[in-house]
């Protein structure tokens, strides 16, 4: 056997061993023997780069290459589920389904609701070709390389397994409790910040830029929905069984229920037993089993009518409140934080909880030394939900009622409270250190300028050394400032400067977001950038002009207008412009002006182009994409599965519906 044949043989064997180990739970060789085969394969592959296979079992080991993520439009939008919290809600759902199906019999597939992040996997010719995060539901990040390191996700499926050639399967990527605990223990030892829960850890990991990191962290995945033309008539429950036969990990705990009582049995069982599972769950998902009935019930704008999530009640513990401290954020908002005796809650140790604002402290009537009840909302953020007032009479350590700080704990300025707002603010925005640092940290963050060679620790260090006070100072940094007297940190200094240089091509909408204007998140920044086209345009906008923009209300308009009139901000923007940052939208050449002045809504899924491509097409012909239908809408470019509420609204306002073909003909692209 030559080396080429040996490589192919090793790959085949390792794929099979993976299946036996991860899916059948019945390995036929020892871990050492497996590692030895993998070792042999990797050595041979290194010698034969011409035989590289993106789906070789060796990709499970990950690579050190760093990659940014491409954005991918989902073939079908990734919707979320409606949430319910009570039995009454579950009964109401059951009733709605029964009525929607006109009294016909139906089955409900009961499943665990896995608490990780959703993923869409595409297989082409039985090989994993694409893995995409949910993103905003319409567009997600291409995380294929990272997902390939998850061992329970097959890279290719056996030819005789009976799966369709091409299909999409969706599920949840999770970090098992065991991996999570190990990871946090390692981080604690390195004095790194701990992950609050397995979901955050899984999400942070999956978005990691090096797949080798992902490989080490041992993620897992459960698949819960299959889309394939060939299986259009197969019930959901059977599809999941089929997917398991093909080699996917699906839950062993799915059950069919034929009455609401059977659903409650399932819920009650898992409310008790879910802590025995190796992964985090936060509820139960109920799905109508029959695909024809699913179709009959359809979707609302946000979620299917044929499925719902029942969330488990949050866990609650009692502990002692020791102290309340105050934190200052980049906007100057001061957050009170409760410091408590450590308590184990839903698998993590809780020591601190945000108290949000003075009103909440008052409504809880908190005293220092109180015994308080802590819950995790959605099992993520711990929250104090009440006080054990009965314990007070026998509590010798009970102290005074908790009072809100009157002065900034960081800079000493007297705090202010604006009319109608719950928060207290430190007004010293141009001198208070955590505000200055916080704004710089926001400026460099991933969704803003994405300068990933800088992090909060480096910002802190530069700030303490007096090198930077604001974002514009970053662009004045010189290599000799950063690399230390002995030039030992030359390489990292150069990386920082390179990152800053690269950021000069970050588009205007993200520069606008990076400024950290109150109420201007990513979406609003994008809307404003597209509308006003440049910083100049935005600065000359009157409050009325701002209010005319779709999605901009009083609070945003006032905040933007005020920000752009503050001399300190004007100076900052001028210095950033001088440094070479993008202060206007890059003009794209128009292909034609056929759609000039027309506001167009794109809705549904399409055959010939993706939704995003249609949006670009509209812009390139001078048209404007808008999200919602109004009387100003010129027409709706209508794909398949356009929601019924949109249809209704269009009919009511008399807005024409234009099909894909008609639209392409209109532009002469047909």
C-alpha atoms less than 13 angstroms from C-alpha of 70 in its C-beta half-sphere = 8
Q: Which of 118, 208, 293, 582 is close enough to bind ligand IVH by CB under 6 A?
A: 118
Q: Which of 11, 19, 113, 217 is close enough to bind ligand IVH by CB under 6 A?
A: 113
**111 touches ligand IVH by CB under 6 A:** yes
Shortest CB 641 distance to ligand IVH, Å = 12
Applying CB under 6 A, the span of 79-87, 231-239, 435-443, 470-478 interacting with ligand IVH comes to 79-87
Q: Which is nearer to ligand IVH, 275 or 491 (CB)?
A: 275
Q: Which is nearer to ligand IVH, 297 or 490 (CB)?
A: 297
Helix, coil or strand: residue 432:
coil
Helix, coil or strand: residue 236:
helix
Q: Work out the number of other CB atoms within 10 angstroms of the CB of residue 109.
A: 22
Shortest CB 2 distance to ligand IVH, Å = 46
Shortest CB 109 distance to ligand IVH, Å = 9
Site string (456-495) toward ligand IVH, x via CB under 6 A? ----------------------------------------
Q: Work out the number of other CB atoms within 10 angstroms of the CB of residue 191.
A: 6
Quote the tokens at residue 419. Answer: 């009319």
Shortest CB 197 distance to ligand IVH, Å = 15
Of the candidates 323, 434, 317, the one whose C-alpha atom is nearest the C-alpha of residue 385 is 317
Shortest CB 154 distance to ligand IVH, Å = 19
| Contact (CB, 8 A) for 124 and 165 | yes
Q: Which is nearer to ligand IVH, 246 or 326 (CB)?
A: 246
Q: Which is nearer to ligand IVH, 34 or 306 (CB)?
A: 306
Site string (245-284) toward ligand IVH, x via CB under 6 A? ----------------------------------------
Query: Within positions 298 to 357, which residues make up the interface with ligand IVH, using CB under 6 A?
Result: 304, 307, 309
Rounded Cα–Cα distance for residues 381 and 345 (Å):
11
- Tell the residue number behind the tokens 């390792």, with chain if given: 14
Of the candidates 443, 446, 449, the one whose C-alpha atom is nearest the C-alpha of residue 463 is 443
Q: Work out the number of other CB atoms within 10 angstroms of the CB of residue 350.
A: 22
**Residue facing ligand IVH at closest CB distance:** 118
Shortest CB 347 distance to ligand IVH, Å = 17
Shortest CB 173 distance to ligand IVH, Å = 9
Q: Which of 195, 225, 425, 475 is close enough to bind ligand IVH by CB under 6 A?
A: 225
Ramachandran area for residue 520 (φ above 0: left; ψ -120 to 50: alpha; else beta): beta
Q: Which is nearer to ligand IVH, 51 or 79 (CB)?
A: 79
Shortest CB 422 distance to ligand IVH, Å = 29
Q: Which is nearer to ligand IVH, 14 or 346 (CB)?
A: 346
Q: Which is nearer to ligand IVH, 262 or 452 (CB)?
A: 262
Query: Within positions 30 to 69, which residues make up the interface with ligand IVH, using CB under 6 A?
Result: none
Rounded Cα–Cα distance for residues 247 and 562 (Å):
58
DSSP 8-state assignment for residue 413: P
**290 touches ligand IVH by CB under 6 A:** no
Site string (509-548) toward ligand IVH, x via CB under 6 A? ----------------------------------------
Q: Which is nearer to ligand IVH, 80 or 505 (CB)?
A: 80
Q: Which is nearer to ligand IVH, 171 or 639 (CB)?
A: 171
Angle, vertex CA 214, rays to CA 209 and CA 216, nearest 5:
135
Q: Which of 75, 79, 547, 591 is close enough to bind ligand IVH by CB under 6 A?
A: 79
Shortest CB 134 distance to ligand IVH, Å = 6
DSSP string, 85-140: -SHHHHHHHHHHHHHHTTT----EEEEEEE-SEEEEEEEETTEEEEEEE-TTSSEE
Of the candidates 287, 172, 288, 163, the one whose C-alpha atom is nearest the C-alpha of residue 229 is 163
Site string (181-220) toward ligand IVH, x via CB under 6 A? ----------------------------------------
Applying CB under 6 A, the span of 87-95, 112-120, 358-366, 596-604 interacting with ligand IVH comes to 112-120
DSSP 8-state assignment for residue 537: H
Q: Which is nearer to ligand IVH, 257 or 448 (CB)?
A: 257
Q: Which of 169, 240, 285, 638 is close enough to bind ligand IVH by CB under 6 A?
A: 285
Angle, vertex CA 199, rays to CA 196 and CA 203, nearest 5:
105
**114 touches ligand IVH by CB under 6 A:** yes
Non-local (6+) Cβ contacts of 400 within 8 A are 367, 368
Residues in the interface with ligand IVH (CB under 6 A) total: 14
Q: Work out the number of other CB atoms within 10 angstroms of the CB of residue 394.
A: 7
* List 113, 148, 437, 646, catalytic entry: 113
- Tell the residue number behind the tokens 């054990």, with chain if given: 388
Give the H or E element holding residue 499: helix 490-502
| Share in percent of the chain as helix, strand, coil (round to 5) | 40, 20, 40
Asked if 302 is an active-site residue, the reply is no
Of the candidates 650, 642, 610, 661, the one whose C-alpha atom is nearest the C-alpha of residue 132 is 610
Rounded Cα–Cα distance for residues 550 and 524 (Å):
9
Q: Which of 107, 145, 156, 172 is close enough to bind ligand IVH by CB under 6 A?
A: 172
Beta strands 127-133 and 117-124 are antiparallel
Q: Which residues sit at the interface with ligand IVH, rule CB under 6 A? A: 79-81, 111, 113-114, 118, 172, 224-225, 285, 304, 307, 309
Active site residues: 113
């Amino acid at each position: 056997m030559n080396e080429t044949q040996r490589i192919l043989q090793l790959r085949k064997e390792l794929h099979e061993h993976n299946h036996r180990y991860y899916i059948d739970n019945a390995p036929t060789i020892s871990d050492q023997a497996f590692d030895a085969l993998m070792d042999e394969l990797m050595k041979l592959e290194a010698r034969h780069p011409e035989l590289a296979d993106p789906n070789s079992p060796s990709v499970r080991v990950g690579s050190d290459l760093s990659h940014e993520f491409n954005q991918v439009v989902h073939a079908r939008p990734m919707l979320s589920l409606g949430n319910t919290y009570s039995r009454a809600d579950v009964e109401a759902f059951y009733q709605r389904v029964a009525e929607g199906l006109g009294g016909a019999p139906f089955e409900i597939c009961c499943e665990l609701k896995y608490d990780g992040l959703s993923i869409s996997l595409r297989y082409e010719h039985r090989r994993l070709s694409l893995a995409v995060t949910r993103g905003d539901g319409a567009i997600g990040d291409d995380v294929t390389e990272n997902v390939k390191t998850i061992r329970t996700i097959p890279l290719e499926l056996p030819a005789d397994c009976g799966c369709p050639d091409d299909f999409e399967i969706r599920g949840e990527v999770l970090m098992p409790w065991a991996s999570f605990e190990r990871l946090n223990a390692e981080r604690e030892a390195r004095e790194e910040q701990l992950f609050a829960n397995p979901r955050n850890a899984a999400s942070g990991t999956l978005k990691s830029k090096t797949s080798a990191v992902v490989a080490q962290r041992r993620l897992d995945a459960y698949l819960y929905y299959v889309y394939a033309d060939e299986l259009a008539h197969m019930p959901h429950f059977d599809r999941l069984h089929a997917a398991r036969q093909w080699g996917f990990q699906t839950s062993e705990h799915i059950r069919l229920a034929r009455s609401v009582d059977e659903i409650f049995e399932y819920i009650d069982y898992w409310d008790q037993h879910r802590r025995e599972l190796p992964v985090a769950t936060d509820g139960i998902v109920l799905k109508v089993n029959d695909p024809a009935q699913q179709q009959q019930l359809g979707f609302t704008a946000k979620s299917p009518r044929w499925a719902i999530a029942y969330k488990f009640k949050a866990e609650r513990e009692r502990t002692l409140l020791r102290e309340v401290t105050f934190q200052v954020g980049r906007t100057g908002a001061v957050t009170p934080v409760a410091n408590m005796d450590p308590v184990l809650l839903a698998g993590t140790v809780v020591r601190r909880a945000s108290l949000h604002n003075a009103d909440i402290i008052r409504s809880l009537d908190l005293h220092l030394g109180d015994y308080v009840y802590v819950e995790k909302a959605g099992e993520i953020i711990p929250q104090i939900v009440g006080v054990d007032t009965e314990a007070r009479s026998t509590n010798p350590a009970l102290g005074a009622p908790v009072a809100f700080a009157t002065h900034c704990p960081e800079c000493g300025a007297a705090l202010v409270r604006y009319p109608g707002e719950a928060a207290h603010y430190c007004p010293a925005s141009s001198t208070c250190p955590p505000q200055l640092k916080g704004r710089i940290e926001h400026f460099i963050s991933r969704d803003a300028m994405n300068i990933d060679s800088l992090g909060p620790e480096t910002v802190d260090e530069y700030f303490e050394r007096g090198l930077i006070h604001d974002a514009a100072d970053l662009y004045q940094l010189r290599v000799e400032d950063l690399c230390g007297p002995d030039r030992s940190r030359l390489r990292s200094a150069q990386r920082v400067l390179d990152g800053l240089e690269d950021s000069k091509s970050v588009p205007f909408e993200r520069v606008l977001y990076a400024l950290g204007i109150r109420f201007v998140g990513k979406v609003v920044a994008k809307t404003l950038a597209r509308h006003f086209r440049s910083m100049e345009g935005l600065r000359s906008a009157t409050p009325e002009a701002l209010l005319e923009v779709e999605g901009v209300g009083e609070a945003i308009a006032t905040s933007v207008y005020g920000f752009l009139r503050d001399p300190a901000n004007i100076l900052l923007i001028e210095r950033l412009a001088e440094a070479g940052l993008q202060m206007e939208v890059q003009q794209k050449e128009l292909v034609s002006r056929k759609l000039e002045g027309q506001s167009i809504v794109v809705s549904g899924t399409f055959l010939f182009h993706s939704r995003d491509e249609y949006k670009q097409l509209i812009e390139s012909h001078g048209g404007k994409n808008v999200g919602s239908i109004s009387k100003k809408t010129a027409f709706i470019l209508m794909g398949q599965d356009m929601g019924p509420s949109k249809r209704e609204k269009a009919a009511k306002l008399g807005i024409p519906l234009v099909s894909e073909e008609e639209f392409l003909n209109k532009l002469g692209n047909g």
